[in-house]
Amino acid sequence: MRVVLSGGGTGGHIYPAVAVARQIEKEEPGSEFLYIGGKRGLESKLIPQEELPFESIDITGFRRSLSAENVKTILRFLQGVKTSKRLLKEFKPDVVVGTGGYVCGPVVYAASKLGIPSLIHEQNAIPGLTNTFLSRYVETVAVSFEGSESAFPKARKVLYTGNPRATTVHHASKERGFATLGVPMGSKVVLVVGGSRGAKAINDAMIDMAGHLSRLKDVHFVYVTGDTYFEQTRSAVLEQLGTMPNYLHILPYVHNMPEVLASTSLIVNRAGASFLAETTSLGIPSILIPSPNVTNNHQEANARTLEKAGASRMILEPQLNGEKLFGAIEQIMTDPGVRRDMAEASRTLGKPDSAELIVEELRRLSALRRK
Ligand SMILES: CC(=O)N[C@H]1[C@@H](OP(=O)(O)OP(=O)(O)OC[C@H]2O[C@@H](n3ccc(=O)[nH]c3=O)[C@H](O)[C@@H]2O)O[C@H](CO)[C@@H](O)[C@@H]1O
């Protein structure tokens, strides 16, 4: 299969595209890929590291309010469509896959104008602007939540597939996760992370609770701060503790998150849709602190679904502090029964066959192209 992938801005839109590519490689070795992303987006860093061919277009997102910037955005969009058409004509894909974020707007739109079949994947229950716009031009919209088909009334076909990252993490090796962290096999690991770019409020709580961590014997804590906050978080913790204890590991970013998640006993996190698909695929209990700065407050809606099922505890950001967070961690980590029930509830929400379902659909679409 020859496949163009596009999506970006944050990890939550990039990794699902990579997960689809990996599944295609597995099922159809020798397939060829081209990833079209934003010049300045996180994808321009992550995709070359994933060893997928990468081309970029220059594009910005729409402001939801009236703004002169939107005129520039429209001009960039039109230029993006032109560049995408050129790249698509050169690469000649059988199918194009968009995974959200404004960068895939011109790419998928150009594909539809050239008659190339396309599929978009929506990670959230409430769709983003770009996917809403694209839904009328694509052959298939793949959704992550059962029942969210009605969010795309203009689509030709909506298919419930879950999030393909659920498949990636399901096959990840926990041995390699423990090795990455440098902790003994089978250790209890509490992973604290603020989405794909780090979150100041969560990092502040990490610093705030650092002095309590030694109370939990035999537990390793992994703080993932995001690149921007790494130095300041690490030095604030060091200032408090004097030296870095062997049960605390502070990292700016984790490149093999599926493996690290496979070795995790409890995760403290934002409530971005890709991360949630991963944690439920593995049946990991969680404490969620939804970001209050996202469209339609959709992270809180994501978090409530898990909380209602018994898979998560939720702390809203205004109520977050080190003591409260550590209290919630301690309660879960000192009670194996609670942990087991939360894990079970988490697992029932997971959909580990997601990438297979998407690739099956892509195969159908690329057969259409060959006809
Ligand atoms: C600010 C913003 O717009 N956030 C959105 C973004 O979140 P964001 O990209 O932060 O969040 P997600 O939780 O959805 O995804 C993060 C992804 O990055 C990976 N990861 C993260 C940290 C790390 O060190 N290493 C790593 O590999 C995770 O495994 C996951 O695959 O996209 C999500 C859609 O999916 C939305 O629900 C979020 O609301």
Which 3 state secondary structure label does DSSP give 115?
A: coil
Q: Which residue has the higher pLDDT, 68 or 22?
A: 22
The total number of residues shown for the chain amounts to 371
Atom number in ligand 1 closest to CA 165: 31
- Note the pLDDT of residue 371: 66
Do 325 and 356 reside in the same domain of the chain? no
Q: What span, in angstroms and rounded, lies between the C-alpha atoms of 38 and 36?
A: 7
Does residue 274's CB lie within 6 angstroms of at least one atom of ligand 1?
yes
Do 148 and 92 reside in the same domain of the chain? yes
- Note the pLDDT of residue 267: 98
**Is pLDDT above 80 for 369?**
no
Does residue 15's CB lie within 6 angstroms of at least one atom of ligand 1?
yes
Whether the CB-CB separation of 232 and 262 falls below 8 Å is answered with no
Do 146 and 211 reside in the same domain of the chain? no
Mean pLDDT to the nearest integer, 208-235: 97
**65 pLDDT band (50/70/90 cuts)?**
low
Mean pLDDT to the nearest integer, 198-212: 98
- Tell me the Cα Rg of the chain: 21
- Note the pLDDT of residue 365: 97
Strand 2-6 and strand 95-98: the pairing is: parallel
Does residue 275's CB lie within 6 angstroms of at least one atom of ligand 1?
yes
Q: Which residue has the higher pLDDT, 266 or 371?
A: 266
- Note the pLDDT of residue 64: 67
Which of 14, 275, 278, 302 most suits a substitution to test ligand 1, by most atoms within 8 Å of the C-beta? 275
- Note the pLDDT of residue 66: 66
Q: Which two tokens stand for residue 234?
A: 């690490």
Range of the structural domain that residue 177 is part of = 169-349
Do 23 and 143 reside in the same domain of the chain? yes
Mean pLDDT to the nearest integer, 329-348: 98
Dist. CA 270 → ligand 1 center (Å)? 8
**Is pLDDT above 80 for 67?**
no
Count CA atoms closer than 13 A to 43's CA, side-chain side.
33
The whole-chain average pLDDT of the chain stands at 95
Does residue 253's CB lie within 6 angstroms of at least one atom of ligand 1?
yes
In the chain, the number of structural domains is: 2
pTM, rounded to two decimals: 0.92
Distances (CA, A) of 44 to 38, 54, 357: 7, 8, 27
The answer to whether ipTM exceeds 0.90 is: yes
Q: Which two tokens stand for residue 99?
A: 């995974």
Do 337 and 356 reside in the same domain of the chain? no
CATH number at residue 217: 3.40.50.2000
Q: Which two tokens stand for residue 144?
A: 């992550």
Do 338 and 236 reside in the same domain of the chain? yes
